[in-house]
Amino acid sequence: MSPIDSPRSKARTCVELFAGAGGLAMSVHAAGFRPLLVNEFAKRACETLRANGAVDRGDDLSVPDPGGPWPLVEGDVRQVKFEYLAEAGVDVLAGGPPCQPFSLGGAHKGVEDERNMFPQMFRAIREMRPKAVICENVRGLLRPSFKPYFDYILRELELPFLERAEDASWDQHDAILKRAVAGSRSVADERYDVYLTPVNAADFGVPQIRQRVIIVAFRSDLRVDWDSFRPRPRYSGEALWASMRDGSYWDRHKVPSRVRRRVMRELPDAPLVEDGLKPWRTLRDAIQGIDDNTGKPLPSIPAKSLDRTEYHHGGFTEHIGWPDARKYTGHTPNLLDRPAKTVKAGVHGVPGGESVMELDDPEYDGKGYRYMTVRETARVMTFPDDWTLAGPRGEKMRQLGNAVPVRLGHVFAKAVARALDAADAREWSSNGRTARN
C-alpha cells in the first residue's frame, strides 16, 4: 500500500466498509490502524484495491497477522460476518455508506431507498464493538426533508445494541430510542457518544470545494475528551485571496502577467480578514504538486495530444488528454486559481462542468478549456500518484467521485488516533493509581 504517510505504529486495528477506491481506508491506515477487513461491492473498485496490494481474504475467518496485506472481502456487505473480529479488538470501524439515497443527485428517496446501508454499519458495530466509528457522507443528509430520519440515524448510532424489530417502522423504533436516550440506562460499552460536523474539504487542505458530513462516534466507556478531539480547519479562502494580493501565491506560480491580472480582477470584493490560516489549495497548486506527497509538477498536455492516447507525459500514468470539452450555460469549467469544484462520479459531461478546466492559453483547441485528466482528478482528491485505479476512464472517474479525499479522511483519522491514545493513557493512569492504593 502507498498511504500518504507511513504510520508510526500498526498496533491499532480497523475495519473498512464501503471501501470504494480506498480513500478513507488509506487515510485510516496512514493514521496507524492496520486493517483486519476491507469490504467493497463494486467490481472495478475491488480491482483497484487489489492493484494496490489488497488480497482476497477468502473463507478464512482468522484474524490477519500484523504487516500483511489488506484482507479484501468482495461482495454485498449484508452477507459479511464480523463476529470473529470481536475478540481481536477493533479500534475503528470506518466507511461511507452509499450516499445515493441522500444525495441531491439521487432519487431523494432517503430511507425508502434500498441502497441505504446505514443499518449495516449498525450491525457491524453490534458484532464487533469497535472503540470508534468514522463515517463520511454527503451534505444531503442535512436537508430539512431528511432531518427526522437523520436524527434517527444519529440516535441509532448512539444506541446500536437496541436493535430494531423486524416488523417495526423506523419511526416506531425511533420512539423507543428517544425514551432510551432520555433514560440513559444502557451500559457504557454498548453506548456511543456521537460527534457530527459539516465540513468543506478545502478547509482541511484539499484542493477542492467538497461539502460533506463527518460523523465520529466513540464508545462511552472510553470517556473521550471531545474538546481536545475536534479537528479545526487550517485553510481558508480569505487566506488564499490575501496570498494573491500580497504576491506570495504568484511567487510560486510563474504565470503570464495577463493571467495574473485577470485573476486579480475576479477576486471577491469583500474586505480581507486576517484569520491566521493557510491559503486554500487551488487546482493549479494540485497540478504543480504543491503541498502534496510528490512535489512533482504534472506536465502540460499540448492541444495536439488531446487524443485519448497514453503518452506517459513526464512519467505519469493516467495523464491522458481528452478532447471535445464544451462550455455552455450551467456547464462551466474549473478555474485554475480556485479550489476545484466537487469531483462527481462521472467521466465527463457531468451537469455542472465539474470535469472541465479552463486553461491559461486560449489557443488550446481554440476554446481555452479541456477535460481534466484522471491523474489531475486524483490529485484533486489527494490520492498519491502511485495509487493505481482500475478500469476504463469512466470507471476511474466514478471511483474518484465516490471516494473520500485522502487528506480529509487523514485529518479525522489522526484525531481519532490521538483521542484513543489519550483514553488509553487515562485508563493506564487510573489503573496505576488503583494498584498503588
Closest CA to 68 of 12, 10, 24, 124: 10
Within 13 A of 202's CA, how many CA atoms are on the CB side?
22
Closest CA to 63 of 86, 46, 43: 86
* Length of the chain, in residues: 437
231 phi/psi in degrees, rounded to 5? -70, 135
Rounded to an integer, what distance in angstroms lies between the CA atom of residue 370 and that of residue 258? 20
Rounded to an integer, what distance in angstroms lies between the CA atom of residue 75 and that of residue 96? 16
3-class SS string, 223-290: CCCHHHHCCCCCEEHHHHHHHHHCCHHHHCCCCCHHHHHHHHHCCCCCCCCCCCCEECCCHHHHHHCC
Active site annotation includes 46: no
Q: Choose, from 14, 46, 99, 135, the residue flagged as catalytic.
A: 99
Residue 185 grid coordinates: 440506562
Burial degree of 371 (CB within 10 A; 0-12, 13-18, 19+): buried
Active site positions, annotated: 99
